């Protein structure tokens, strides 16, 4: 029996320029594939995340919102939550006319996640001069879960500090989903200057290590962060939406606010889409 081809697309998330942002491979499946196959394909792509979409057809449902199963794989393992690959999957479905709706629901290991197409009121639609089509300008708004954190064993501070080449550690928390460590440093400057030792990070407890610190007052940002996850086959993730699911509630409590402009060391952006080398990430908690 002939094998069915799989539709796929590689999307550079958080940028409008090729070879910038954070790449994610998006595969649209006509039927379910086994885990070994999906992991092998993700390893072959060898980008930070490869995601798989399978359309859900429910004849009894009264909802007109399209629904898809969504799973995410790094080059070495499946993960429970990924922001930039969900953004890439949403963009793929919206931009190629694969859904007739401005809202999509994804069934995932982290529950039901939603993506909305939001018109960009600050820019007018552009024209593709090659074929005369009007190119719609829009954002994709994701509704992601809050990831609770708990205080981690303070006896591990010296071990964590060693994995960051001696960086001063203020406190350590642990996320309750992937058991990533959220490590607070004294300042955003310390976050930028941190020198991760990836072999040491692999020996640390938990999954990955999120480091964060308060942004300088003059920067225009609320907090800085970086995410190291060599156990997942990614030394440093340029864009990490799932990390911000833990960062937002932490900084909401610290700063007494619910809207943030967050800066990641390998810069990424939603609003101005300027790419990997500059930008910001707005977070609403």
Is the torsion defined by CA of 195, 200, 205, 206 positive or negative? Answer: positive
Q: Where are the beta strands (DSSP E) in the chain?
A: 7-13, 22-29, 49-56, 67-73, 78-79, 103-108, 111-119, 126-127, 134-135, 138-143, 149-151, 171-175, 181-184, 209-214, 223-229, 234-236, 259-264, 281-284
Tell me the CA distances in angstroms from 221 to 122, 215, 217, one per residue in order: 22, 6, 8
| Residue 1 forms part of a structural domain | no
User: What's the CA gap between 199 and 162, in Å, rounded?
Assistant: 11
Per-residue pLDDT tens over the stretch 250-284:
999 999 998 988 888 653 333 333 333 333 456 66
Per-residue pLDDT tens over the stretch 163-188:
999 999 999 999 877 789 999 999 99
Verify whether residue 179 is a known catalytic residue: no
User: Within this chain, do residues 84 and 159 fall inside the same structural domain, yes or no?
Assistant: no
Q: Considering 32, 49, 78, 179, which one is annotated as catalytic?
A: 49
User: Within this chain, do residues 177 and 257 fall inside the same structural domain, yes or no?
Assistant: yes
User: Within this chain, do residues 186 and 134 fall inside the same structural domain, yes or no?
Assistant: no
Q: Which domain holds residue 117?
A: 7-143
User: Within this chain, do residues 190 and 264 fall inside the same structural domain, yes or no?
Assistant: yes
Note the pTM of the prediction, 2 decimals: 0.85
């Amino acid at each position: 029996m002939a094998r069915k081809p799989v539709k796929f697309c590689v999307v550079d998330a958080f940028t409008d320029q090729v070879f910038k942002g954070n790449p994610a491979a998006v595969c649209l499946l006509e039927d379910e594939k086994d885990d070994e196959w999906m992991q092998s394909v993700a390893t072959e792509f060898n980008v930070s995340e490869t995601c798989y979409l399978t359309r859900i057809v429910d004849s009894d449902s009264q909802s007109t919102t399209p629904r898809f199963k969504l799973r995410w794989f790094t080059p070495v393992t499946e993960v429970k939550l990924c922001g930039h690959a969900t953004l890439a999957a949403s963009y793929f479905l919206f931009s190629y006319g694969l859904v007739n709706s401005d809202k999509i629901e994804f069934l995932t290991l982290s529950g039901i996640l939603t993506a909305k197409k939001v018109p960009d009121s600050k820019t007018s639609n552009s024209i593709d001069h090659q074929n005369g089509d009007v190119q719609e300008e829009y954002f994709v708004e994701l509704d992601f879960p809050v990831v609770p954190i708990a205080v981690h064993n303070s006896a591990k501070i010296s071990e964590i500090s060693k994995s960051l080449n001696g960086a001063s550690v203020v406190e350590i928390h642990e996320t309750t989903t992937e058991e990533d460590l959220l490590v607070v440093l004294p300042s955003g400057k310390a976050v930028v200057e941190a020198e991760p030792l990836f072999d040491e990070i692999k020996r640390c407890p938990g999954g990955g290590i999120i480091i964060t610190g308060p942004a300088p007052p003059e920067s225009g940002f609320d907090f800085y962060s970086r995410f190291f996850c060599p156990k997942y086959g990614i030394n440093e993730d340029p864009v990490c939406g799932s990390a911000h699911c833990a960062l937002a509630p932490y900084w909401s409590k610290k700063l007494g606010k619910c809207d943030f402009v967050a800066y990641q060391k390998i810069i990424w952006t939603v609003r101005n889409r300027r790419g990997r080398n500059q930008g910001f990430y707005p977070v609403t908690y």
